[in-house]
Amino acid sequence: MILVIGGRSKIGSALVADLLDRGEQVRVLVRAAEADSSGGLGGSEGLGGSVGSGGAVAETVVGDLADEGSLVAAMDGVEKVFLLSSPHPDAVRWHRNAIDAARRSEVGLLVRSSILGADRGSPADFINAHTECDRYLEKSGLPFVIVRPNLFLQNIPESTIPSIGADGAFYGDAGEARISMVDTGDVAAVAAVVLTEPGHAGAGYDVTGPEALSYADVAAQLAESLGRPVSYVDVPDDAVRQALLGAGLTAWFADALIGLYQDYRRSGRDGYAAQVTGTIADLTGRPPRSLADLLAGTAPL
């Protein structure tokens, strides 16, 4: 039995479907409020991607990363755990709870979804929190794998495209930094391999897309895909902060995002975020999805 924590995230839902397709028994941790609002437990309703292509369904268990006792209960009979959560001011405590629960439950492998750059030390809070969690896991004595994905390609259709104004411009504070953005389905495929195939315990994998793109490069691809002029305009952090707050993000989230992009800028055009690794092809046997692939499969917006 594999317990997936964060099973309704983009990576998590694709992972659950992949594991079911591989014939694994899967349990998804859901928070009580979400379980109630999704029409009850035990079925696929409300769990979107939790159904394999053959019709197999994941079971669900109620729990919360803030409550270690609920995690120990959720890990009853579980051999392996996949751990991911939303970015949150309490995320380090949450992930420590899950690692402690896995140790108490004598879980055989914990795979943690981290972020590219977490192994190098960074002033950005988003990355720092992952570094702290990864170090805690490495010292826990549990067999582990750490998966470090770069920025998600899915941010482009979900956030960038809707932000394009009537003048064709979208705004950001990435400067000239190039980022090898990665498809979340590809990250899930890597996680499925390390969870189900032997020989990965103790490894850390940097997971990137096939090409490093600046936001000017993204604008050029969007213009091509949307069939109209699109341009990227770099603006000061304060302007981005106001826009993020205006879009309803909390001050903590807005500042964490700005810190991440400051880190991209600081690392430069060919910095750490521009690296292209062979992890996806090496582990899954297929090439990583590009922005062009994603845009070709995305309904026009």
Stretch that binds ligand NAP, among 26-34, 49-57, 195-203, 269-277 (CB under 6 A): 26-34
Beta bridge partners of 169: 231
Residue 144 token pair: 């582990």
Closer by beta carbon to ligand NAP, 23 or else 39: 39
- Interface pick for ligand NAP out of 9, 131, 180, 267 (rule CB under 6 A): 9
Closer by beta carbon to ligand NAP, 160 or else 225: 160
Does position 118 interact with ligand NAP (CB under 6 A)? The reply is no
Measured distance CA(291)–CA(178) in Å, rounded? 13
Does position 263 interact with ligand NAP (CB under 6 A)? The reply is no
Angle at 223 between CA 217 and CA 228, to 5 degrees: 155
Measured distance CA(1)–CA(19) in Å, rounded? 10
Does position 172 interact with ligand NAP (CB under 6 A)? The reply is no
**Three-state secondary-structure class, residue 250:** coil
Closer by beta carbon to ligand NAP, 43 or else 87: 87
Measured distance CA(80)–CA(83) in Å, rounded? 10
Does position 185 interact with ligand NAP (CB under 6 A)? The reply is no
Q: How far is CA 29 from CA 2, 71, 72, 106, in A?
A: 11, 9, 11, 18
Measured distance CA(163)–CA(176) in Å, rounded? 19
Name the minimum Å distance from CB 11 to ligand NAP.
6
Closer by beta carbon to ligand NAP, 138 or else 168: 138
Does position 271 interact with ligand NAP (CB under 6 A)? The reply is no
Name the minimum Å distance from CB 154 to ligand NAP.
8
What percent of the residues of the chain are helix, what percent strand, and what percent coil, each to the nearest 5?
Answer: 45, 15, 40
Name the minimum Å distance from CB 261 to ligand NAP.
11
Does position 183 interact with ligand NAP (CB under 6 A)? The reply is no
Contacts of 49 (CB under 8 A, 6+ apart): 8, 13, 14, 16, 17
- Interface pick for ligand NAP out of 32, 34, 37, 202 (rule CB under 6 A): 34
Closer by beta carbon to ligand NAP, 10 or else 289: 10
Does position 151 interact with ligand NAP (CB under 6 A)? The reply is yes
Show the site string, 69-108: x = touches ligand NAP by CB under 6 A, - = not.
---------------xxxx------x--------------
Name the minimum Å distance from CB 68 to ligand NAP.
11
Q: How far is CA 94 from CA 5, 14, 64, 135, 232, in A?
A: 11, 22, 9, 14, 37
Name the minimum Å distance from CB 44 to ligand NAP.
14
What sections of the chain are H helices per DSSP?
10-21, 32-37, 68-74, 91-104, 125-138, 155, 184-196, 215-226, 237-246, 251-267, 279-284, 291-296
Q: Which residues bind ligand NAP (CB under 6 A)?
A: 5-10, 12, 29-31, 34, 64-66, 84-87, 94, 113, 115, 126, 149, 151-152, 155
